[in-house]
Amino acid sequence: MYKLYKFSDDTTVTADHVVSCLTELNEKNPSASSSLGKMSLTAVDDRTIRIESERPTHVMDAVLAEWVFVIYYQDDDGNFIYTGPYKVDTFTDDHIDLSPNRFYDSQSLDRPRIEIKKYATGEDLAKDAETGDIDIAFHLPIDTLPELRKADGVNVKRYVW
């Protein structure tokens, strides 16, 4: 028995959906061709796809886990409908509101709602981090870090690439 995957609108995910999505990403988004180059995708059956790539890889599962390879389709109204544990409720220039995708798994209703917010400045972001108005922040200005390290309940982590 296999798991039946669904989009957040209860549409069953098929191999044709995945082929269409990955083909579009590979053609239109340079990040989706950085690891593999040009990809040729075909649906073998309703649950299986075949990927042939310009650059070979022995870790296709790792490549497909890269941030750029989200799986979606466009509904008849032109809305993008995604898979995964969350669904998009609002998508604007300055924030994205997410709620649990009830069709994802049995824990979906236990997940919190999430707001992803774009800040005008790093200083504004640092202020909300310091006051605890946000849970996580990225790319904070270096000069804000000493005060943030002193703030109660704030943990500053440094990541070097």
Q: Tens digits of per-residue pLDDT, 77-103? A: 999 999 999 999 999 999 999 999 999
- At 64, which helix (H) or strand (E)? helix 60-64
User: Is 161's pLDDT higher than 80?
Assistant: no
Using DSSP's 3-state secondary structure scheme, residue 157 falls into coil
Distance CA 22, CA 42 (A): 10
Pairing label, strands 39-45, 95-100? unpaired
Buried b (16+ CB within 10 A) or exposed e, 48-62: ebebebeeeeeeeee
| Arithmetic mean of pLDDT over the chain | 93
Task: Please say whether the beta carbons of 33 and 39 come within 8 A.
Answer: yes
Distance CA 137, CA 34 (A): 27
> What average pLDDT score do residues 43-49 get?
95
Task: Please say whether the beta carbons of 80 and 58 come within 8 A.
Answer: no
- At 60, which helix (H) or strand (E)? helix 60-64
pTM of the model: 0.77
> What average pLDDT score do residues 130-152 get?
93
> What average pLDDT score do residues 141-155 get?
94
Task: Please say whether the beta carbons of 130 and 115 come within 8 A.
Answer: no
